[in-house]
Chain A
Amino acid sequence: MMPDSLNTIASRFLDERHRLLAYILAGVRDPHTAEDIFQEVWMRLATAVESGAAIQHEAAWCRATARNLLLHHWRRESRDKVEVNSDLLDVLDSLESALEENADTGDLWAARQQALTGCLVALPEKSRRMLALKYEAGLPLEEVARSCGQSLSAITKTLYRLRRALMDCVQNRLGLGEEIS
């Protein structure tokens, strides 16, 4: 049986999961790697709580852990070719604080997600397929471009425009102002 304290922390962790995942996705492109890092953060948090560690601010603790795992991932994937310099660490810190600035409630996240689903359904089949190749299959852009018969630069621009259009669509559906975040 999960101890009550862990239950409580699990609930808070789940409430915060979108922000943590967004932070992790700032550092990795592959969605499965991002999910694995996310799971590892949870496992480390659960282990720490079960061992009686005092964690003052869980969200910050999780982002710090995620940051370390991201750095570890970069070093491993790039065989030390990535220079972990102060600029890189500053960028990660800035992204963390940017995400922290606008605390999203679970309800608002769900509303946005629902709106996005509606917007995706309204997209032309070709556009949906392009997004599915990237976000469901997790293919690199080069492979998405090849599958869609477009150049890399063309597919990059198309995806950019698609995301922009989806952002506008979500804003319209929610009746939000200019900035969704």
Chain B
Amino acid sequence: MKRMEDLLEKLRAQTATSEELSELKRLLTTPEGRAKARERLWMECALHSAFRATPVLAVLAKRHPPQPRAVSVAAWANSWIGKRWVPWAAAAAVMILGAMGWLPWASSREDAATLSFVAEGGAGESIAITRDGRTWHPVSQENVLVGDSIELAEESPGAQLQFDSAKTTITLQPGATFRVLSLTPQKRFALDRGTLRADVAHQRVGKPMLIQTPMAEARVLGTVFTLAAESDQTGLTVERGSVRLSQGDGSMETIKAGQAAVASLGAPVRLATSKAGVMPAQLRQTMKWIKGPVAWDSAQQLNFDFKEDRKLWILLPGSTWESDGLQLGWSEKKPGATYLAVSPYFTVRPGERLTLSGRARVQNGAELRFNYYKLDGEARSFGHATVKAAQFGAADAEGLSPFEIPFQTVAAAELHSIALILYCHHADGTPPQVGDAVLLHDLTLSRP
């Protein structure tokens, strides 16, 4: 059994030699060998499914760590899911407490702390470090470990992280929330919100520094750059070297010195025509507009108006996710494909049947289709699934036509966060032009 395990592991790691492949092939000719291989693969698949099926709130806790202020887990959960779910929230809080102990962001540790934290000029309570659910305010300098979350209030003086023997520094601006996901062999961080400026020493070949934001990921080998993140937009300006910026829709750009780029909801990563478009202050201002009508920019690439904060929805059995008054224009991802993405966070099981419905007004008549995409907890992975098309009913007095799109999730494991990507085409099959508009009302995702 042990030998079979070793050989299968080498096969999976793509490191098996010709001799080892021959040996594995020979072992698999016997019934015992095949049974052992089957057993090992079943366990791999089962463990994969078991750990992908962690309770939804535990996963959400990973994506959105509790605020480092003194807020109880139950209160935090309840604030998200509404008072009518109090009993459920209490149970979920218990699940969180049980699950957080083995969530890597909360508990993984490096033996050697190679990161130092310096609060400039004394920060009072404006800088908070959270570790294993415990929060404190550093006086001056603090070792920061893998799994730590650092939050800087707007009134904080900023802070600096140093590592690689001080050859690499990351300066966190006031208002930033930053997490340390890994230090070795590869540095991985998450910038949940706010702005940082990084001066990165050359990283090991094949081990670029990765900084994830809610919308994108920056891969860095050695450079100086500024990264700004909000929930729906990431801005990047590069001063020296180059940074590859990618986002979940598969789009990516390599940004060179002197260039700037933006990754935003519903649009691929794109080079900015001017740096002003992605400067942090302006980015923050743009994000504040999300709760009201938005005129994205002069290019009219995307216009939308969310009447509710698009932070989180938890879709419990029998409940619905609703968004009314969604107005969107179209930007071109590639010829013939125009889309808008919304990403409610909830768990769906493989094979589960859901319905997306609403009322729409589409210029010149159109077919509305959508894909749902898996958004992994660390936004590393991006898979797509099934495609549906809606038939519109007769328009009501407001000129809005109802539509209903039932669909079934086809996935390997539970999906904890999905993005709904809505596509629209004119009835003759041609894509809408930039500037065309669709008005969506009562967009609802329901689970029977």
Binding site for B on A (CB under 8 A): 1-2, 7, 10-11, 13-14, 17-18, 20-23, 25-29, 31-36, 38-40, 42-43, 46, 74, 77-78, 82-83, 85, 87-88, 90-91, 94-95, 97-99, 101-102, 104, 112-113, 116-117, 120, 125, 128-129, 131-133, 135-139, 142-143, 146-147, 149, 156, 160, 163-164, 166-167, 179-181
Contact = CB atoms under 8 A, between A and B. Distances in A.
A125 B102 CA distance: 7
A143 B185 contact: yes
A38 to B, nearest CB: 4
Contact of B47 (A32, A131, A139): A131
B39 interface: yes
Given A25-B48, A180-B42, A35 B374 contact: yes
A139 B186 CA distance: 11
A132 B108 CA distance: 10
Interface stretch (B18-26, B240-248, B278-286): B18-26
Contacts of B63: none
B395 interface: no
B388 to A, nearest CB: 6
B307 interface: no
Nearest to B182: A143
A150 B216 CA distance: 33
B14 A32 contact: no
Given A2-B408, A125-B101, A95 B28 contact: yes
A88 to B, nearest CB: 6
A156 B42 CA distance: 18
Given A85-B21, A94-B28, A112 B386 contact: no
A113 B49 contact: yes
Interface in B8-56: 8-9, 11-14, 18, 21-22, 24-25, 28-29, 34-35, 37-52, 54
11 contacts: A2-B386, A20-B412, A21-B412, A28-B12, A94-B37, A133-B104, A143-B184, A146-B110, A146-B184, A149-B109, A166-B47
Given A78-B14, A137-B104, A181-B38, A21 B376 contact: no
B185 A133 contact: no
Contacts of A43: 384-385
A33 to B, nearest CB: 8
B92 interface: no
